Amino acid sequence: MTQPSVLLVDDEPDILKLLEITLGRMELSTRSVSSLAEAKSALKQQVPDLCLTDMRLPDGNGLTLIEHMQNNHPEVPIAMITAHGSVESAIEALKLGAFDFVTKPLALEKLRELVAHALKTHHPLADEAEATLVGSAAAIEDLRIQIRKVARSQAPVHIHGESGTGKEVVARLIHRLSPRHDQPFVAVNCGAIPPELVESELFGHKKGAFTGATSDKSGLFLAASGGTLLLDEIADLPLPVQVKLLRVIQEKSVRPVGSEIEVPIDVRLLSATHKNLALEIQKNNFRDDLYYRVNVIGLHVPALRERLQDIPLLVSHLLAKMADEQGIAPKTLTAAAQSWLMTHEFPGNIRELENMLARASAMTESSVIDAGDLVPGDFFDNITRQLDDSTPQGQDSPSAAPVDLLTAVAGDLEGYMAAREREILNDALVAHRWNRTATAKALGISFRSLRYRLKKLGLED
């Protein structure tokens, strides 16, 4: 079996020797060069499985070599060796497409971990994994391309988009396409953890560190060791924890609460939020230095209204998934139901669509779901009643336009719908003493969808 090959680029003989010995013990073949020109020449002679380069070279820098590799050998991962504290250079390298970086003086254990991950970048199950991202719209195809690129890297990725768009699906896909796909994927909703417990949940704690700490706890960073950690709703992290998270990212180690010892970590960090982090920085709710560390590469997940042509695909996928879970034949939609879905705004995005289909599937005994089955509450009943009331007696169907309803709409359907929605939400909130959780449950929508609707309609306060 042919040994994997690594091209080493550094003008310090001692560093090259150390790298050769370390990688040789990993049963890897190496070729060492000391300049940018020599590296380009070596690449023409033989394409390696991995390139490891210093940032500073006699005739240029490692960033130039990264660009050269991306243009000529994009399939080959390249990692950067940089001076301790050169964070800006390391981030720039990651943005250009570097797999990862290590700092001088070299920590050999971290170097070995980096090399091991880099040599596993070719993923045999790419097509199967990408099938989890349903859709054929241009925005989704573009997202798939970006995911393929970032999955091969170790760079922190920030996933942003509205609530319910599928940010965690994207994060899981990045993990499944990455060299870490056979290691843990751990997702945590930062906004769901009480502020006083966030640090302990993320970094762990020692027994007796605080009241209730009856035993040692490793924390989520260590639980994701070797794999990927998703910090969902990262904008909700308390500012003191943001400071400690920044240090964890920079030092690649955690200090459990109540401990004086730093514990090394090997984790790919992903983050997500539906909030605008730039705006949160202006409000002093989020640190700008942390933003630049977690947002090395940014991915935008489009809202459902931006890819309405994907609704039929999503409906088929979701109904088949529900049927498989229930052990029944998949239900189908009537033409009226399909038409209604294509005109709905979906403020709750795919999560709202899934909830809508799940509710309709559970409440409908028939194998076919109609438009009236999709909408919570009495909306369709009210509209139908108004249409019926406008029908002249003695006729089976209206021979003229529903005058009362058209008068109410007054040429502004969206305004009428918003007014009706505002009225329904206000009544529901009052009935449940402004308890939003109870209100959302009563309306059959998610809490986030309720929050979005309240903000959109000016009822947030």
pLDDT at residue 145 in the model: 87
- Which domain CATH number covers 353? 1.10.8.60
pLDDT in tens, 223-246: 999 999 999 999 999 999 999 999
Task: Taking residues 99-122, report their average pLDDT.
Answer: 86
Residues 6+ apart with CB under 8 A from 167: 159, 160, 161, 232, 272, 274, 301
Cβ atoms within 10 Å of 36's Cβ, excluding its own: 20
Residue 391 belongs to some domain of the structure: no
pLDDT in tens, 151-186: 988 899 999 999 999 999 999 999 999 989 989 999
Q: Is the pLDDT of residue 14 over 50?
A: yes
Residue 422 belongs to some domain of the structure: yes
Q: Identify the band that residue 283 occupies on the pLDDT scale cut at 50, 70 and 90.
A: very high
The rounded distance, in Å, linking the Cα atoms of 421 and 43 is 63
Domain closes at, from 69, 94, 118: 118
Q: Which is more confident, 352 or 125? A: 352
Q: Is the pLDDT of residue 391 over 70?
A: no
Question: Which residue range is the domain that position 163 belongs to?
Answer: 129-302
pLDDT at residue 130 in the model: 65
User: Kind and range of the H or E element at 9?
Assistant: strand 5-9
- Which domain CATH number covers 439? 1.10.10
Nearest residue to 76 via CA among 105, 108, 42: 42
Task: Taking residues 281-304, report their average pLDDT.
Answer: 94
Residues 417 and 343 in one domain: no
Nearest residue to 97 via CA among 123, 79, 115, 84: 79
Task: Taking residues 340-361, report their average pLDDT.
Answer: 89
104-110: long-range contacts (C-beta < 8 A, 24 or more apart)?
A: 104/15, 106/15, 106/18, 106/19, 106/81, 108/18, 108/22, 109/264, 110/252, 110/264, 110/266
Residues 137 and 231 in one domain: yes
DSSP string, 150-175: HHTS-S-EEEE--TTS-HHHHHHHHH
Q: Is the pLDDT of residue 7 over 50?
A: yes
pLDDT at residue 129 in the model: 54
Q: Is the pLDDT of residue 202 over 90?
A: yes
pLDDT at residue 96 in the model: 87
Cβ atoms within 10 Å of 17's Cβ, excluding its own: 13
Residues 135 and 175 in one domain: yes
Residue 76 belongs to some domain of the structure: yes
Angle between helices 447-456 and 436-443 (to 10 degrees): 100
Residues 220 and 248 in one domain: yes
Domain closes at, from 375, 392, 426: 375
Residues 113 and 166 in one domain: no
Q: How far is CA 315 from the centre of its chain?
A: 22
Domain closes at, from 118, 149, 184: 118
Residue 383 belongs to some domain of the structure: no
pLDDT at residue 412 in the model: 65
Q: Which is more confident, 268 or 355? A: 268
Q: Is the pLDDT of residue 43 over 80?
A: yes
Residues 59 and 178 in one domain: no
pLDDT at residue 289 in the model: 93
Q: Identify the band that residue 397 occupies on the pLDDT scale cut at 50, 70 and 90.
A: very low
Task: Taking residues 61-77, report their average pLDDT.
Answer: 91
Q: Is the pLDDT of residue 220 over 90?
A: yes
- Which domain CATH number covers 21? 3.40.50.2300
Residues 36 and 88 in one domain: yes
Residues 287 and 351 in one domain: no
Residue 141 belongs to some domain of the structure: yes
Give the three-state DSSP class for 125.
coil
Residue 348 belongs to some domain of the structure: yes
Residues 419 and 348 in one domain: no
Residue 448 belongs to some domain of the structure: yes
User: Kind and range of the H or E element at 451?
Assistant: helix 447-456
- Which domain CATH number covers 180? 3.40.50.300
Residue 237 belongs to some domain of the structure: yes
Residues 82 and 145 in one domain: no
pLDDT at residue 85 in the model: 59
Q: Identify the band that residue 332 occupies on the pLDDT scale cut at 50, 70 and 90.
A: very high
Residues 212 and 147 in one domain: yes
Q: Is the pLDDT of residue 107 over 60?
A: yes
If one counts the domains in the chain, the total is 4
pLDDT at residue 253 in the model: 92
Q: Is the pLDDT of residue 392 over 70?
A: no
Residues 285 and 268 in one domain: yes
